[in-house]
Amino acid sequence: MSGVLIAAARGRAASGPVSVSISPVSQTESGLTNAYTMNSCAVTVTNGTASSYTWYFANQLDGTWAINAGQGTATATPRVTGVLPSTIAYADFKCDVVVNGVTYTVTCALSYENANVE
C-alpha cells in the first residue's frame, strides 16, 4: 500500500499551516533471507523548514531493525536482520521532525517476511 501520512500541529507559517508527511506510509516485503533492506522513507515539510529529523523504531516484533542510512536527514532507509524462516518481522519506522520549534511525528509501517521454509 502506498500513500502519504500527514501530521499537522498549530505551527503556522506566512504561507499557510505547517504540514509534515511521510512517503510511503507502509511497506510490505518478502524474501528468502533473514535480512532485508527496505526502500527509503522520505519526509516532506510544507510551509516551514525542518531544523531536525530523528528516525527511530517502535512496536517492533521479531527481527532486529536498524537505520541503514539517513539518520538526521529527511530520507532514511530501514533494514531488518535476524528474521527466522517462516517469520514476519514488523516495526513502525517513525520520524520526529522539528519545524519552528514544534515536533511533528510521522510513521511508516514496515513488515518483512522471510519466506524460506528450511
The ranges assigned to domains in the chain are 5-114
Q: What does pLDDT average to over the chain?
A: 91
Cα–Cα dist 114/31, whole Å = 5
CB 101 within 8 A of CB 118: no
Share of the chain above pLDDT 90, in %: 85
Cα–Cα dist 45/66, whole Å = 24
Share of the chain above pLDDT 70, in %: 88
pLDDT tens column, 53-73: 999 999 999 999 999 999 999
> Bigger pLDDT: 9 or 80?
80
CATH 3.90.420.10 fits 5-114, yes or no: no
- Strand runs (DSSP E) across 1-118, as ranges? 5-13, 16-23, 26-31, 36-37, 41-46, 50-61, 64-69, 75-81, 87-99, 102-114
Cα–Cα dist 74/52, whole Å = 9
Rounded to the nearest 5 degrees, what angle is found at the Cα of 70, between the Cα atoms of 69 and 75?
A: 120
In this prediction, residue 13 carries a pLDDT of: 42
In this prediction, residue 11 carries a pLDDT of: 46
The confidence band for 1, taking pLDDT boundaries of 50, 70 and 90, is: very low
Nearest to 60 by CA among 97, 90, 17, 98: 90
Query: pTM of the predicted model, to two decimals?
Result: 0.85
